[in-house]
Structure 1
């Protein structure tokens, strides 16, 4: 069921499957933010070696590079709903066991690294399954609004509510944030398990089909679609730049602007507020321009915001630029995900989504190292200008596919999305 808003963009009804999926996603995001904020704080109490502390964060990226494609192939083979609640139940049990270890004084830096790596490995299956499941819960025309509501809810729960809650939870003990995280996983698992969706109809796999061949098939699907290929290349380029910007933003604010930690908090809040506004206001932009042109506009506006960040020495201007950057970043993310869901045959959506994510995540650590090197060589404002250059390349990669919003059906009549009763 969908409703039509004032902008003419169809929106999913909250009742039924989408509302439960949204609740599970937002709860999981809240729990993830608790754990993400608490792990480094716990790590510094266990070791004074910066490399080991950084390894805890690095393990949040590595599994996507190693297992991301595999997670997508598995997501296309199985019942996505069952895969999601099983993974969340397992993650809840793992985090609960870790919380007990912390409470009993048995935590170690090695255990932290193992936990971070294992949870993200499981996430590669969960996230790809979630991307593939959404088109079965909402009408095709409501996918954009559904993605916007999911991303906005996750940003509110993870960006605005989760991190500030950690100091309060730590007052109850070092294990409290992890116990809360475990509880969110288990509740999210129950919500997903309650979805009344029948097992998806899977076409019989060809004789001799292997995970390797199925992964290759997903990569070919991504490569042969001009729009998706351009979006993937553009997103990978953007994430190299984003890695550089995020890794050095604190230096830009506290060093180049001399705004201190308060200034950094202002900058972070401005970006978060802009992202939330983008989640709520992407509809009118998309309704006027269409999906692909809205993504192109988002990239162009972000280039201007990045040039301002690296050129104007003012905290107020930086905050305004970050708010605009966050707004357009949400427009980019929502429409990119929607295009991928609408243009990919349903039986390959998990694999295409995994290829997209793997290529995107791979660029972030490279960009972080590049940003640090550029800031060291030419000053703390130059990574923002470097990021602008990567966004220029990204926009150029988008141009060949501009204006192609319609779904692309395979020659044999594959259906890009399936709507099932709830």
Structure 2
């Protein structure tokens, strides 16, 4: 079959209305992110208290990626088959019950490393349904011209909550008890479920979802989503570029602490400074993404983001100074948010009605697969060539990805 619609850009965007569905979805995303960030920060500390086996400790984090590879495509197909709001609040209710039970287990000192791995795995399985449903739901809550702004506000808020509100609260909550962060996480899931369940049906939900053909199977519907992704030139190019870049990202993330504490000899304070710069840069990127897209278009925004990120990685891997890494990480984060916001918006704009869950799931599954592969490569390269080598490896991987994006520009 031939290519789908040509790579064209939408007109300038405008801000979504806070009243109604989007405001509640935004609040649910912020509340849920607060709890998720608490758990993500606290769980590795709990794992370290249970075992000193690096493989077991790493397994807790790995389970945050594995379900996307195993069930991401299924989650997208489910999101297209069912009422998306119902799928979201049910997933949050189940996650809330699971986290409440886990909090009780920690409180009773009945937890184990096996339980941590199992909980991390199940939570991410449920997340594949929730995230795909949320991506598919948003276009029915805001006008098409407001999608870019809506995505930017959602992602920016989540970054602010995670980096500057939730993570600093972890030591305070842990001082009150090892189970407290998980109990709070359970409560945020319950609050988010109530907010999502209360979403009002929009008067103009957009094009109705076309019913699947008689006898269609889940496997067939997943294949249909993959076919659309491959046939759409823009989405295919973005997916390939993101997958390649995520291999580099995996290498960088897995070795960043070694890069800062060993190669730069900056200690934990330096590592904290680099992470703070990343959080601040992501917020600035969220505020910048819509304006940049209005000026030069979404495809060009992603291309520019990749180009600047390549330069930031080169600086990070070649200038042996903490200030350079902090500045490079801030710039890298700004452009990373520009990339993410515009890629998500393009996916929503270019996916047919009733297929958005599957298309977005296909993109997520393929791009997430690059992260663990990159982590393994990063560890091997750092051991063989030095702690700064993964940043240079990431820059080298960004080059062909950015070159591929240049072919999408009209």
Q: Give the shorter-chain TM-score range.
A: over 0.9
Q: 2:79 aligns with which of 61, 75, 90?
A: 75
Partner of 1:329: 336
Matched, 1:306 2:310: no
Structure 1 residues without counterparts, runs of 5 or longer = 1-6, 404-422
Partner of 2:142: 138
Q: 1:57 aligns with which of 47, 56, 61?
A: 61
**Displacement after TM superposition at 1:335 (Å):** 0.3
Partner of 1:42: 46
**Displacement after TM superposition at 1:43 (Å):** 1.4
Q: Number of aligned pairs?
A: 397
Q: Contact 1:227–1:400 (CA<8 Å) still a contact in 2?
A: no
Q: Contact 2:21–2:202 (CA<8 Å) still a contact in 1?
A: no
Further displaced range: 225-234 or 254-263: 254-263
Q: Contact 2:163–2:276 (CA<8 Å) still a contact in 1?
A: no
TM-score, with structure 2 as normaliser = 0.95
Partner of 2:96: 92
Partner of 1:222: 229
Q: 1:381 aligns with which of 354, 368, 388?
A: 388
Partner of 2:269: 262
**Displacement after TM superposition at 1:41 (Å):** 1.3
Query: What SS is found at the alignment partner of 2:145?
Result: helix
Q: Contact 1:60–1:117 (CA<8 Å) still a contact in 2?
A: yes
Partner of 1:339: 346
- 1:91-170 to 2 correspondence within 5 Å? 91-170=95-174
Partner of 1:359: 366
Which whole-Å CA distance do the structure 1 matches of 2:93 and 2:72 have between them?
A: 20
Which whole-Å CA distance do the structure 1 matches of 2:341 and 2:251 have between them?
A: 22
> Following superposition, which runs of at least 4 residues in structure 1 exceed 4 angstroms of deviation?
198-201
Q: Contact 2:35–2:166 (CA<8 Å) still a contact in 1?
A: yes
- 1:173-322 to 2 correspondence within 5 Å? 173-197=177-201, 201-322=208-329
Which whole-Å CA distance do the structure 2 matches of 1:259 and 1:50 have between them?
A: 23
TM-score, with structure 1 as normaliser = 0.92
Q: 2:30 aligns with which of 26, 39, 46?
A: 26
* Deviation per residue, 1:260-313 (Å, 9 max, x gap): 111111111111111110111222211111000011001101111111111111
Partner of 1:414: none
Q: Contact 2:96–2:189 (CA<8 Å) still a contact in 1?
A: yes
* Deviation per residue, 1:206-235 (Å, 9 max, x gap): 122000000000000000000000000011
Q: Contact 2:13–2:147 (CA<8 Å) still a contact in 1?
A: no
Further displaced range: 359-368 or 45-54: 45-54
**Displacement after TM superposition at 1:356 (Å):** 0.3
**Displacement after TM superposition at 1:198 (Å):** 6.3
The RMSD of aligned alpha carbons is 1.4
Q: 2:18 aligns with which of 14, 17, 20?
A: 14
**Displacement after TM superposition at 1:122 (Å):** 0.4
Structure 2 residues without counterparts, runs of 5 or longer = 1-10
Which whole-Å CA distance do the structure 1 matches of 2:202 and 2:306 have between them?
A: 39
